[in-house]
Amino acid sequence: MDVLYKRIFSYGSLQFCGHIEEYFVAHTEDLLVYIVQPRVGATHNLLRRYHEGVLIEERPVRSSQNVVAYYVLWFANHIRFLLSFCPRNQTTIIFGGHPVVFFGMGLLRRLRPLRYAYWVGDYFPSRHPVIRVFEWLKRHYLRRVDYAFYLTDAINRVMNGGVLAAAPGRRTLMWGLKPCPITPVPPMEPFTLLVVGLIRPGQGVERLLEFLQGHPAYRLSVIGVCQPAFFETLQGLIDELGVRERVFMPNRFYAEEELLAVARTAHVGLALYDTSSDNFTHYADPGKVKAYVEMHLPILMTRVSDIVPYVERFGCGEIVDCFDGVDAALCRIRDNYGRYQEGVARFLAYFEYERYYRMAFNPMENLNDG
């Protein structure tokens, strides 16, 4: 085990999250991971404790769907876990991505030797009062933490008035990647398109169904959950367009192995986001795009997010400015598939999570030797 950190209290997720937990497990002597699930639908959170890379404890933690109780329980448990896990005689790194993690930071630093690292994963360009308070809190704590990481240059820029690139412990850090095992490319006919994630209006699914009607050589797999009313709308459109035999849309969550099985029958991953200026994806590093690349699929996406320059730089997909460019872009990928696969390999090598995080987190190493 290559130990880079003595003790870390980190936050995690059960969703795609760039292999952060996996990285810290491999390089931290004592690691506590608090997984806080989204309030809607969640009944409990999860606590994991590792020692020298081995999971020694995993247990549920009480949560609530009531908005007040949800945050009260989160913060109360955060304090409880911090005080019990962080000793008085050894520095602990607190690594999180939400203002709740940093409440009371000044007082807690007096009780324990703590170093705080804030990884900002989102920015919402909204004038809503609640969102404005949320964004103010993020800026407030970012000025006070020891280390600040920004998921994209766009977030870095809006938080600092310009991109901080050389400042120690303050830099852009996108999601790292871990490739899935390589499998043979499926037959090129039918040429299969894949859409994964939460399915909602504004992602081009309706336009894709219309596209299928006039392009019989294509097939579409849509893996994810959508609201019942929108699902019924899409089902009606599928029947109206007569493309039922070429659309796979189970409308349920797929576990990793199930998703991989579907991905191995596909040729291209689609991320046709709405490009309007108020779409927060402009500030995101879309998880679905990174997931497609991990599954060795070339990408077709709209010009939104700071990941676009990397797609263009490594040649791992096509970028369109509007849906009208989809037909020609898919033809280019289909007719030059080997070249795009080479681009996917270059993209994977650049964002390979062990190398990428080792470089990015270097300022935090050897902080808590005692």
Q: Is the pLDDT of residue 370 over 80?
A: no
Whole-number pLDDT of residue 25? 97
Rounded to whole angstroms, the Cα distance separating 370 from 368 reads 5
Q: Tokens standing for 329?
A: 């872009």
Write the pLDDT tens digit of every residue in 69-89.
999 999 999 999 999 999 999
Task: Express the helix, strand and coil content of the chain in percent, nearest 5 each.
Answer: 40, 20, 35
Q: How confident is the model at residue 368 (pLDDT cuts 50, 70, 90)?
A: very low
Whole-number pLDDT of residue 161? 84
Q: How many angstroms separate the Cα of 323 from the Cα of each of 208, 213, 247, 270? A: 9, 15, 19, 12
User: 68 by DSSP, 3-state: which?
Assistant: helix
Q: How many angstroms separate the Cα of 91 from the Cα of each of 32, 184, 240? A: 14, 48, 63
Q: Is the pLDDT of residue 362 over 90?
A: no
Whether the full predicted model's pTM is greater than 0.85, yes or no, is: yes
Instruction: Name the residue with higher pLDDT: 366 or 120.
Output: 120
Contact 204, 321 (CB under 8 A): no
Question: What is the DSSP secondary structure assignment for residue 177, as one 8-state letter?
Answer: B
Architecture of the domain defined by 191-351:
3-Layer(aba) Sandwich (3.40)
Write the pLDDT tens digit of every residue in 214-231.
999 999 999 988 888 999
- Average pLDDT of 238-257? 92
Write the pLDDT tens digit of every residue in 323-350.
899 999 999 999 999 999 999 999 999 9
Domain spans of the chain, in order of start: 5-173, 191-351
Q: How confident is the model at residue 165 (pLDDT cuts 50, 70, 90)?
A: low
Instruction: Name the residue with higher pLDDT: 274 or 302.
Output: 302
Q: How confident is the model at residue 187 (pLDDT cuts 50, 70, 90)?
A: very high
Whole-number pLDDT of residue 198? 82
Whole-number pLDDT of residue 365? 76
Q: Tokens standing for 154?
A: 């766009």
Domain 5-173 has CATH 3.20.20.70: no
Q: Do domains 5-173 and 191-351 have the same CATH topology?
A: yes
Q: How confident is the model at residue 108 (pLDDT cuts 50, 70, 90)?
A: very high
63-72, 249-258, 330-339, range with the lowest pLDDT = 249-258
Cis previous bond, 186, omega within 30 = no
12-26, 134-148, 158-172, 264-278, range with the lowest pLDDT = 158-172
- Average pLDDT of 262-290? 90
What is the per-residue burial (b if ≥16 Cβ within 10 Å, else e) of 312-336? eebbbbbbbeeeeebeebbeebbee
Q: Is the pLDDT of residue 137 over 80?
A: yes
Whole-number pLDDT of residue 202? 77
- Average pLDDT of 120-146? 92
Contact 259, 196 (CB under 8 A): yes
Q: Is the pLDDT of residue 162 over 90?
A: no
When the pLDDT of each residue in the chain is averaged and rounded to a whole number, the result is 92
